[in-house]
Structure 1
Amino acid sequence: MKFFIGLLFCLSGFTTFGQTGIASTPDTLKQLIKAEVSCGQCKFGLPGKGCSLAVRIKGKAYFVDGTSIDEHGDAHAADGFCNAVRHALIQGKVVRKRFKVTYFKLID
């Protein structure tokens, strides 16, 4: 019985691993934020190597946790995040200088 419970516990961890936690619809109880979105390093001047998704809210840029730059198309395409600043409706909050996104929808 202990083996069975342990196995269920382990498997439940695998089912949630890799899920982003991004809602498909916005939470009606939370504010929708219209933000600029792009590559943090290429377009917003944030530190680091490589290319990472970032949002800019009221002139302040934050790296994003909860979704990645590659989940929204080719970052290096003409309209990709490394070459263009786009706009999205987002929900979430800033935690330790990073934006923890719970809803993300590109609008242009």
Structure 2
Amino acid sequence: MKKIIILSLLIFASCSNKKEVKHVAEISCGQCQLDLDSEAGCSLAVRFDDKAYFVDGFGIDDFGDAHDEKIGFCNVVRKAEIVGLVEDGRFFASSIELVK
């Protein structure tokens, strides 16, 4: 009986977890490039499925200087493979890898 209860709890716990999604998305500064205005200052954001989200879990300078003229997120929109989940209008990223 103890094993059945433990197995049931494990199944319940795995079913209640939200599944992360994987996308190839645009990544840039939400304010400078992706037309988001709910935060002050420059913040990392992603856009996929025609919707942009601020990112939690990574910062805008984690991939180099955000204001670099050639690669900075405040000046260019880049592509990235992202893994995470959308919750409360934000993207909670567990992985971001830039795509060339």
Q: Residue in 2 aligned with 1:68?
A: 59
Distance, in Å, in 1 between the alignment partners of 2:21 and 2:61 is 26
Distance, in Å, in 2 between the alignment partners of 1:31 and 1:95 is 12
Q: How many residues align?
A: 80
CA deviation map 1:10-47 (0-9, x unaligned):
xxxxxxxxxxxxxxxxxxx9653100000000001111
Q: Residue in 1 aligned with 2:8?
A: none
Contact 2:20-2:85 at 8 Å conserved across structures? no
TM-score in terms of structure 2 length: 0.75
**Which aligned pairs between 1:12-27 and structure 2 lie closer than 5 A?**
none
**Structure 1 position 80 matched with structure 2 position 72:** yes
After TM superposition, what 4+ stretches of structure 1 lie above 2 angstroms from structure 2? Answer: 29-32
Distance, in Å, in 2 between the alignment partners of 1:30 and 1:98 is 13
**Structure 1 position 35 matched with structure 2 position 25:** yes
Q: 1:32 to 1:68 in 2, by over 3 A?
A: same
Distance, in Å, in 1 between the alignment partners of 2:57 and 2:22 is 16
Aligned to 1:34, the other structure's residue is in SS state strand
In structure 2, the gaps of 5 or more residues are 1-18
Structure with greater proportional strand content: 2
Identity of aligned residues (%): 51
In structure 1, the gaps of 5 or more residues are 1-28
